[in-house]
Amino acid sequence: MAFLLKSLPAAAAATRPLAATTMRRAAMPAIMRSMSTSANSACEPDEPVFLQCVELYYDRAAKLSGVNPGTLAHLRAVDSMLRVTFPIELEDGKYEVIEGYRAQHSRHRLPVKGGIRYSEEVDLQEVEALASLMTYKCAVVDVPFGGAKGGIKIDPKKYTVDQLERITRRYTMELCQKKFMGPGIDVPAPDVGTGGREMSWIMDTYRQFNADDVNAAGCVTGKPLSLGGVRGRTEATGLGVYYGIREFLSYPEVQKKTGLSGKIEGTSVIVQGFGNVGYYAAKFFEANGAKVIGVGERDCAIYDPNGLNVEDLYKHHRSSGSFRGYSASAKILEDPIKILEEECDILIPAALERQIGLRNVDKIKAKVIGEGANGPVTPAAHESLEKRGVVVVPDLLLNAGGVTVSYFEWLKNLSHVRFGRMNKRWDETSRTKLLEVVQETAGRQLTETERKAVVHGAEEADLIYSGLEDTMIQACEETRNTANIKNTDYRTAAFVNAIQKIATVYEGSGMIFMN
């Protein structure tokens, strides 16, 4: 436990006592609920903050849900919030107090599920909004989790690996002590600023506090394969974005509205954000015939109407830290948010919340907007886009690929066996026997390459991709049907589906709220 002692020296503990509070929404400081405009936001100063955006979307759908008002009021509120502070020793011997948060929005199903982000923008209202979205997101794709979210208010680039490890482990210790973590309680995952490395530290710390928990690997998802992760988790959210857009483009009403052919092939795509979600979304679109013509990041954006090579651009950005110098023919946009305003068929905001607001919504030229990030469009901007005939595929549906595959990883950890291990060889043997009969009847022998393709048994990655694709197809179709029945937009329809599913759980468990 040396890392715990190092992160909380006796001298620091004496001068800065640890603060940890579990709070209800009503007890949150008023300043956390004030209207604000982020420096990287496209919102007017009087537009709602992220949490209020989610609540406005929820209220609009609640009116169409037909659910008991008491249940609706209960579902709208966050169940509990945890705020912790602790000191960390820096290289110069000074101490810095770190703030961490965890919100559990709804425990109608356990465990609750949601990522942990490291960002200087993290605060109570942000994690509360993200936790709310996670509840609805899980319900939309029929993943049996409640919603949660967490974050630490830091810029991870400003800290050494050793400091990040101590911060992560100390934060995890707080979650364990307050019963805000466990395979059957609350299961974190990666988010902005975190990845498999941080999830490994979290799992190891949890195990030290729960040495007898045989299911400890299920306390967190997004882990490396060697530590119980699952194949396909890294690209899951971006792949889910691709699957979702592909499905919506196949709907005749969307084709009529947008004038698109219904195929990914030949469409032009712009992606804002080149992290995990944006990169893989762009990669899958490109692999299936789309032309990625623009990519935005924090410092600048790059645009080329002739198309960009996603993999080459990614390698250049990883090595240089910028899009500058990638191509002489491509245009560099110094204001990265301007990439949203370039003309394209499909626009994927996959960066941060509140990127499309009243300040720039009239300049958006895309025919379809697929929300790869959480909350990238404000309510007023959403209404404006809908009036103009722009198809908006909402975040709680489109970026649910991550939590879907996290669910698969959690199942793998609890079952203690990788997917495909029990049946792969059996499937191949059965197919081989069937193929032999078919070849004998047809009088034609397949080549070795053809034979391997036919008899190949499903491995873990095949099953994960298949499960994710089926989940997205079903969720998209449900959203489409509700939108048509209720004569509403896809975001409201997705919220309606989520609310009704969660209300069914409440009522089935006896938690019925009377008028």
DSSP per-residue letters across 229-281: --TTSTTHHHHHHHHHHHHHHTSHHHHHHH---S-STT-EEEEE--SHHHHHH
Distance CA 314, CA 283 (A): 10
Three-class SS of residue 456?
A: coil
Distance CA 347, CA 61 (A): 24
Residue that the structure tokens 């990030």 belong to: 373
Distance CA 239, CA 286 (A): 12
Length of the chain: 515
Distance CA 138, CA 400 (A): 7
CA 58 to chain centre: 19
Residue 383 CB contacts under 8 Å (≥ 6 apart), including other chains: none
Catalytic residue, chosen from 149, 223, 283, 424, is 149
CA 393 to chain centre: 14
Judge whether 149 counts as a catalytic residue.
yes
Eight-class DSSP state of 487? T
| Best CA proximity match to 364, nearest among 383, 380, 381, 378 | 381
| Best CA proximity match to 339, nearest among 271, 394, 393 | 271
Three-class SS of residue 169?
A: helix
Distance CA 102, CA 182 (A): 13
The answer to whether 415 and 214 have CB atoms below 8 angstroms apart is no
Count CA atoms closer than 13 A to 366's CA, side-chain side: 30
Query: Which residues are known to be catalytic?
Result: 149
